[in-house]
Structure 1
Amino acid sequence: MTSTNTIRIGIIGSGGIARAHVAAYRTIENVQIVAVADVVPGKAREFIEATGLADALAFEDHRELLRLDLDGVSICTPNMAHCRTSVDALEAGKQVLLEKPMSVTLDEAIEMVQVAKRTGNMLSIGFQPRYDPNMDIIRNIVQSGQLGNVYYVETGGGRRRGMPRGTFVRKELAGAGAMADIGCYSLDMALNALGYPKPLSVSAYTSNFFGTNPKHHPEADKFDVEDFGVALVRLEGGIALNFKISWAMHMDTLGATMFLGSEGGLKITPAGKGPWSGVWDGKVGSITLFHDVLGHQTESPIPIKEHTINLFHEKVKDFVKAIREGRAAPIPGEQILYNQAIIDGVLRSSELKREVEISLPGM
């Protein structure tokens, strides 16, 4: 496919995040949003009218949308529909850009990866923070060997107050709470820097003291996911990962992300201020390398690359570019499968109140 061909896109799910996809596609030449599907009667048509997609078709069944001549689809449904819509799209020969988290369960994620491999179609997961150039700096430092043998990683983040509403806080629709919503970003940051080592076991604790309290959340009676979680994850290669996340807490921060190695350490803080900041769904604030120089304990600030990149737009642009050039998924499901395996392990361990092993048959 040449760069002059028009890329035909369908959007499945017409909630708030779908609007961001529309805005991103509109910045790319020779891209046409052909259709929108949403299971709620009339919602797809309302979305089309509200976003000015006058020529787009509206469907209530995503399978009807997938019968169209499309190059790719953006899947923007609630989490519980990620697996079914992705599998159907891949089976229909479409390239898929899926919003995070990848799925609700590990079994779903495994099925999605298997279908992508079997069909040869792209399954790319929407982790836009990867497009911050500072994430490349972090990964390059970790991968360069400057830290020596990396044996411990601490990642996660916390909002003093920052709990979403609606589909995010209902287990039947979201599958999980803070872990799936913002924790997946923290996991991707750490695991991507490490080269995505396989997770082996998880020992975790979760709670939802804030979400179920009417004083803190207007939908407390419907809130049945976790708003806080912490886990010790054993990774392949003898690495211990301390993972922690919170939507709400009586604290200003859960600390920086850290990589500890035998020859050095790396400390990273997120950018942003305010009650919804403090997590890895945005830009990098600072990077500091801790190491010894001529016998002296030394701290070396790593200059941050200041930029005005719209990270979300870059994610969508890269997806379209991969379609045009016939490239592999920019952020492949095979990687994010490990991310999902950890979240699945956290929820199982918390429920069972003991450490659980992570099994990835055939992976």
Structure 2
Amino acid sequence: MSKTLKIGIIGSGGIAGAHAKAYKQMLGVEVAAVADIIPGRAGQFIEHWELPHAKAYDDYRQLLDTELDGVSICTPNVAHFQTTVDALNAGKHVMLEKPMSVTLEEAVTMAETALKTGYMLNIGFQPRYDPNMAIIRDLISSGELGKVYYVETGGGRRRGMPGGTFIRKDIAGAGAMADIGCYSLDMAMNALGYPKPLTVSAFTSNHFGTNPLYHKEADKFDVEDFGVAMIRFEGDIVLNFKISWAMHMDSLGAALFLGTNAGLKVTPSGSGPWSGVFDGSVGSITMFHDVQGHHTESPIPVIQHQTDLFHAKVWDFAEAVRDGRPAPIPGSQIVRNQAVIDGIIRSAQTKKEVDIFLPSPFA
């Protein structure tokens, strides 16, 4: 690489460390700046991660005034919108942690800003880099299942509730939906070619998070820890979505894709109280179909790999910036993911089905 790629990191919380670690492993890439709203925290982060070329800032806007090729935005969810818009308008490519935003309106403005400025807005869904996710997508897009008409996705942890900024609506915007639900939605919607969502009917609750028996910060917990929704998409596809941070059950079941020629069953990997959702890898893939009139179950070999999914997503972003490629996971696509989450929140609040309206060019 003839030119060193200079990256800034905005927000120096836990997830920012994973970005710093990934960038440090790349030749020709240096973290040149770190910003955090808490005075002194950016400097501590730089020292901890041994970033000798990085300068510390308490105001991310000062960071954006420096010469950088791109930024990783690792702020709490509520700050994603303004930070991203400012970064794009400052001429910086953006690697944004999930979820994309708090509201659909914010997501649309962010994606419109990327299109207007010509700078990349890439959303950090690292499960996409699991080769088994590619198998699922390729099987469905190949037409082998026929017309897919029903999908079931989501998953649930028996006990897997985070704390801190994740459980406050004024900071996170939403709970399990924004934290792990967006991954499950991306798995299904990406496999289907990201169809346009039309309507949502949803229910959410937080019986566990607000109970001191199950959460030590119950008095601060005001987001959902459980949600279920029925989502209608263009093309007569319906998605049964369910997600849970905590429950009295071992599983909410596998992901299912029902097609006119075959069906696909996908289980998440892992075991234990924090497993059971698609924020990591795949456990098994099975195709259900008929062979000469006989009901047949064909296991699809799962690729055993050592891929660091988080490193892969950051690397892909950096390579795209260097090579002038489009965003690997563009914000213009993930607007539809955010539209579903926004619809779930609105439907749960109003206790009725709601329509989803997407402006051009995202409709």
Aligned mate of 2:297, from 299, 309, 317: 299
Q: Which residue of 2 aligns with 1:345?
A: 343
- Asked if structure 1 preserves the Cα contact closer than 8 Å seen for 2:30 and 2:53, the reply is no
What are the within-5 Å matches in structure 2 for residues 180-259 of structure 1? 180-259=178-257
C-alpha separation in 1, matches of 2:277 and 2:148: 23
Letter in 2 for 1:149: K
Q: Shift of the alpha carbon at 1:27?
A: 1.2
Aligned mate of 2:146, from 145, 148, 153: 148
Q: Shift of the alpha carbon at 1:130?
A: 0.3
Runs of 4+ in 1 over 6 A off after TM superposition: none
Which secondary structure does the structure 2 equivalent of 1:54 belong to?
Answer: coil
Q: Which residue of 2 aligns with 1:131?
A: 129
Q: CA RMSD in A?
A: 0.6
C-alpha separation in 2, matches of 1:238 and 1:259: 14
CA shift digits 1:173-232 (9 cap, x unpaired): 000000000000000000000000000000000000000001100110000000000000
What are the within-5 Å matches in structure 2 for residues 150-165 of structure 1? 150-165=148-163
C-alpha separation in 2, matches of 1:91 and 1:325: 21
Q: Shift of the alpha carbon at 1:55?
A: 2.9
Aligned mate of 2:14, from 8, 16, 20: 16
Aligned mate of 2:37, from 28, 36, 39: 39
Q: Which residue of 2 aligns with 1:108?
A: 106
C-alpha separation in 2, matches of 1:136 and 1:111: 29
| Structure 1 alignment gaps of length 5 or more | none
Q: Which residue of 1 aligns with 2:280?
A: 282
Q: Shift of the alpha carbon at 1:26?
A: 1.1
C-alpha separation in 1, matches of 2:191 and 2:359: 24
C-alpha separation in 1, matches of 2:241 and 2:170: 24
Which secondary structure does the structure 1 equivalent of 2:218 belong to?
Answer: coil
- Asked if structure 1 preserves the Cα contact closer than 8 Å seen for 2:7 and 2:68, the reply is yes
Letter in 2 for 1:167: T
Aligned mate of 1:65, from 51, 63, 66: 63
Q: Shift of the alpha carbon at 1:266?
A: 0.3
C-alpha separation in 1, matches of 2:332 and 2:189: 13
Q: When the two structures are aligned, how many residues end up with a matched partner? A: 361
Q: Shift of the alpha carbon at 1:4?
A: 2.4
Which secondary structure does the structure 2 equivalent of 1:340 belong to?
Answer: helix
C-alpha separation in 2, matches of 1:42 and 1:219: 26
C-alpha separation in 1, matches of 2:269 and 2:50: 34
